[in-house]
Amino acid sequence: MNTMDARDVIEVAKDICEKTGTRLTETRQHMLEVLFTVDTPKSAYELTDDYNRLVKSPIMAMSVYRILNFLASIKLVHHLHSINKYIICKHPIASSENQVPLFLICYSCQQIEEVAIAADLINALSEHAESSGFVSAGSQIELNSLCKKCQSNIHQHSHGDLNGQNPTNK
């Protein structure tokens, strides 16, 4: 997927707001810029701190929740429910109806990779949920996983540990 830079994100946001009859207020725009700058998954409280550090006019956590909900509703921000954090969406809104986001969330460093998967997959999962009497509430999938970097770190560490455990073998 192509990624956008901060200016693109703002432009796309303005566009969506115009089309949906809402407005990209100054605070909403600042929040997008903050999310873009931090570029890692953050909780609403962490984002409140970041916002107040980066933007001159202070904001309350309550407003941050509202803004994040708004930005999530126009799909410029993703709420990762499994870790209760927010991340900016840098992918052009292709608004392809047959694709949904899959988030690979590294359980070690919380690095996130967003990839598009066929909506059919989530429909199939929803059917499973329904057959168990549940109603699926998600339009995205979050997968607990381990990123490449952390995989190689663990690999190196396990080697180090082995050497450490057997000093007499040398």
Q: How far is the CB of 76 from Zn ion (least distance, A)?
A: 8
Nearest 5°: the CA angle 105, 109, 114 is 30
Q: Which residues contact 29 (CB under 8 A, 6 or more apart)?
A: 10, 13
Q: What is the DSSP letter of 142?
A: E
> What sign has the CA pseudo-torsion 39, 44, 45, 48?
positive
128 vs 149 by CB, closer to Zn ion: 149
60 vs 154 by CB, closer to Zn ion: 154
Q: How far is the CB of 57 from Zn ion (least distance, A)?
A: 28
Binding residues for Zn ion (CB under 5 A): 89, 91, 106, 108-109, 111, 114, 147, 150
31 vs 147 by CB, closer to Zn ion: 147
82 vs 163 by CB, closer to Zn ion: 82
Q: How far is the CB of 72 from Zn ion (least distance, A)?
A: 10
Q: How far is the CB of 85 from Zn ion (least distance, A)?
A: 14
